[in-house]
Amino acid sequence: MKFDTPLIPGKLIKRYKRFLADVELTDGSIVTAHTTNTGSMLGLIEANSHVWLSESDNPKRKLKYTWEIGAAGKAPVGVNTAIPNKLVFEEISSGNIPLLTGYTTIKREVKYGQNSRIDVFLQAKGKADCYVEIKSVTLSREPGIAEFPDAVSARGTKHLQELGDMIEEGHRAVMFYLAQRSDCTRFVPAKDIDPVYADALKVAITRGVEVIAYGCNVTPEGIHLDKPLELGI
């Protein structure tokens, strides 16, 4: 998926109030960018780390900049949590994810469970309805290992429980982890950060929930689906 406009490079000054980040651009000016990521962004918020912003020309926006990419060492990392849902939807629609092909109806944001919306809903005659929950993965504390979550995620635990409920109703349910970085080959739950979530993932799997994980190629030009990640669950 290509960015609509060229990204603007800069250096992070600080992230604060969860949704805000001050960034120094290459010309020395300082701007405040919107941050869509509600997690801790562990490993991505060090001062002076490289970042890339998108710029909007929508006059109704309070902040015209959005933080799109951060840097963990030398590896660029997509931090916009709106990207994974769009990207995975596009790749499923194009038939590029083998485990999620053969469906004639593909929808986003369909109501299900307890006041929730599933990220992608798949349907086809003669096949069980398929509910796909997508999580953006940015954390990597060990070389080659992608981890989720990067903060306690009660909402994520709820989603795992609801996916299991869909299995019991006779449907198919998939937990899809998209690592917005290219330096990982394996996915694991971050047990030390949220042991409740890690346990809920194990329970969900025993109930029949499938797990898929992919990495991405991330550049200032775009973020594209890469190879499946090995699962360490």
Q: What per-residue confidence (pLDDT) applies to 115?
A: 83
What phi-psi label fits residue 109: left (phi over 0), alpha (psi between -120 and 50 degrees) or beta?
left
Residues 121 and 13 in one domain: no
CA-CA distance, 233 to 215, in Å (whole number)? 17
Q: What per-residue confidence (pLDDT) applies to 157?
A: 97
Tokens 């997690």 belong to 39
| Helix, strand, coil distribution of the chain in percent, nearest 5 | 20, 45, 35
CATH classification of the domain holding 134: 3.40.1350.60
Residues 69 and 112 in one domain: no
CA angle centred on 139, ends 98 and 226, rounded to 5°: 30
Chain centroid to Cα 201, Å, comes to: 17
Residues 148 and 64 in one domain: no
**pLDDT tens digit at each of 233 positions of the chain:** 999 989 999 999 999 999 999 999 999 999 999 999 999 999 999 999 999 999 999 988 999 999 999 998 878 999 999 999 999 999 999 999 999 999 999 999 999 988 899 999 999 999 999 999 999 999 999 999 999 999 999 999 999 999 999 999 999 999 999 999 999 999 999 999 999 999 999 999 999 999 999 999 999 999 999 999 999 99
Q: 176 near 190, Cβ under 8 Å?
A: no
Beta-bridge partners for 72: 75
Residues 209 and 95 in one domain: yes
Q: What per-residue confidence (pLDDT) applies to 64?
A: 95
Residues 29 and 121 in one domain: no
Q: What per-residue confidence (pLDDT) applies to 113?
A: 82
Residues 72 and 142 in one domain: no
Beta-bridge partners for 213: 177
Q: What per-residue confidence (pLDDT) applies to 84?
A: 98
Backbone φ, ψ for residue 202 (5° rounding): -60, -45
Question: 78, 97, 116 — which closes off a domain?
Answer: 78
Classify residue 136: in a domain, yes or no.
Answer: yes
CATH classification of the domain holding 33: 2.40.50.580
Backbone φ, ψ for residue 130 (5° rounding): -120, 125
Q: 51 near 10, Cβ under 8 Å?
A: yes
Q: What per-residue confidence (pLDDT) applies to 74?
A: 79
